[in-house]
Structure 1
């Protein structure tokens, strides 16, 4: 089936994403959703994702159709597909991570021309929060299968949803500790995940008070429990990379106070390094 779907989708991409006259958009959408988590990198990333994104951006879908797609990807068969049962090295993550990557173009469309009710935007945020709490597969690029990159994709979704006027300060403050928990882990981030998440954090910072920003930043300082456990060195590295990414992003704009906080935190973090 995947080869047949590639044969259907490749000409669409090659023809500047024009839908053939004899092709039903609804049928095509159903087929793409069914294979959104394929381990075939060309089908999943180069074709399904890019066609979905382009169709959404160019207005091929009605607002009602976009709502239906959003409702589909937020359920247990997509965003939460085997999230609590699949092992870290299994392929279920591809379905989750490419489902979450459909959220940005839909929410971007909503921000330009609002079509979601306020409660629906909050529901997207709530599901993202649940997803961030539960995702445990942190692989970036997987040889032979392409990008899993779940945390980077989640960061893109957080950025676009947090940018919506409907998202409140309270919702932002609930999300920030979850982001911290996902980055202070003993799995090394190797593919700019922290940079993608910093982009989301910067937009989130606009919705919370300066003191709340400082209080959260201070939680990113990891204090080791053991000098013999190499897993703690990975956590410290992740903390260091995240803080550095934030620092350099804050060189633009009036963030002098936060930069000073970050400089102090990075100095303190040096004391936790084992060399």
Structure 2
């Protein structure tokens, strides 16, 4: 897995260095033009123009302006992909460019928007693939590897800012994982890589999640519980790993409090969703592990 990731990252970084990104708003457009497009529900009759517009909006995912980034670029890209209005070639280009961005070292002037919103759009790309497969096995493996490494290594935990809007890297990466968790083409080994990355952030002891990250991290785990071929023993090992720590969780420190806070949020969301799911087999497999884990935290 690690050797494949190094190969994948090298390949996409080379492609990243060769790409000349447009400005935001794209050349020839103003923010007002884009708002008119939004009001028209993203209707662009000319198919070729629509493909180019989608690619031109990718730079806006890094914009500090939440309207350009979230309300225009992300909404447009999501709408076109969910409405099947982008060609496979365009979606492949989006996949390649955004995976390159998300794997590249952060620039000194990076404001923390580009990678989280690249992850959110890549979740939409993963959704397209799970509904109507267009990636080959190598590309799917590359996406799982990039997504897992991105989620595992996130250290920017900023969520919402009144002026600049959302960053929310952990939640956006979890959404990407959720779309991958629903894909029937993924293997058990890929599921294990995803769960390893999810666990890294679920047991975070550096930051207190406060923007719903626990529930967002829970969702892909829930769907992997439904779909993955992991054995009950492997699930037991995974849940035990969440609570394995050198911290003394009975002592009051910032790290121990953060770990308990984040684990409790995740486990409570998992407990509630399991109880409400009416999935008897899933409940039998995971509910005792969740209850045991919650008891250990108290």
Q: Shorter-chain TM-score category?
A: 0.7 to 0.9
CA-to-aligned-CA distance 1:227-273 (integer Å, 9 cap, x gap): 25222211111111111111111112221352222222212111xxx
Q: 1:5, 1:117 → 2: CA distance?
A: 37
Flag the 1:91–1:189 CA change in 2: closer, same or farther, 3 A: farther
Structure 1 unaligned blocks of 5 or more: 271-275
Corresponding residue for residue 287 of structure 2: 259
CA spacing shift, 1:132–1:22, aligned 2, 3 Å? closer
1:190 to 197, 210, 230: 210
Cα distance change on mapping 1:81 and 1:146 into 2, 3 Å: farther
Q: Give 1:2 shift.
A: 4.8
> Which residue, out of 79, 82, 93, partners 2:102?
79
TM-score norm. by structure 2 comes to 0.81
Partner of 1:214: 236
| 2:159 equivalent to 1:127 | no
Pair 1:249–1:34, CA change in 2 (3 A)? same
Q: Closer, same or farther in 2 for the Cα pair 1:168/1:5, shift >3 Å?
A: farther
Q: CA deviation at 1:27?
A: 3.8
Deviation at 1:91, TM superposition (A): 4.8
Query: 5+ residue gaps in structure 2?
Result: 1-22
Query: Are 2:210 and 1:177 equivalent residues in the alignment?
Result: no
TM-score when normalising by structure 1: 0.88
Q: Residues 22 and 266 from structure 1, CA distance in 2 versus in 1: closer, same or farther, beyond 3 angstroms?
A: closer
Q: Show the counterpart of 2:258.
A: 234
> Which has the larger share of helix?
2
Partner of 2:158: 139
Change (3 A) 1:166 1:92: farther
3-state SS of 1:24 partner: helix
- For residues 6-26 of structure 1, the C-alpha deviation after alignment (integer angstroms, 9 at most, x for no partner) is 222111110121116599334
* Residues 81 and 95, structure 1, Cα contact 8 Å, conserved in 2: no
Distance 1:265 1:27 in 2: 50
1:184 is displaced (CA, Å) by 1.8
Residue in structure 2 matched with residue 62 of structure 1 by the alignment: 87
| 1:243 maps onto 2:267 in alignment | yes
Deviation at 1:145, TM superposition (A): 0.7
Q: Distance in 2 between matches of 1:64 and 1:2?
A: 22
**Would you say 1:95 and 2:119 are equivalent positions?**
no
Deviates more, 1:239-248 or 1:106-115: 106-115
| Segment drifting more, 24-33 vs 146-155 | 24-33
In structure 2, do the counterparts of structure 1 residues 257 and 107 end up closer, same or farther at CA, with 3 Å as the change threshold?
closer
After superposition, the CA RMSD in angstroms is: 2.2
Which residue of the other structure, out of 191, 198, 219, is the alignment partner of 1:199?
A: 219
How big is the shift at 1:31? Answer: 2.7
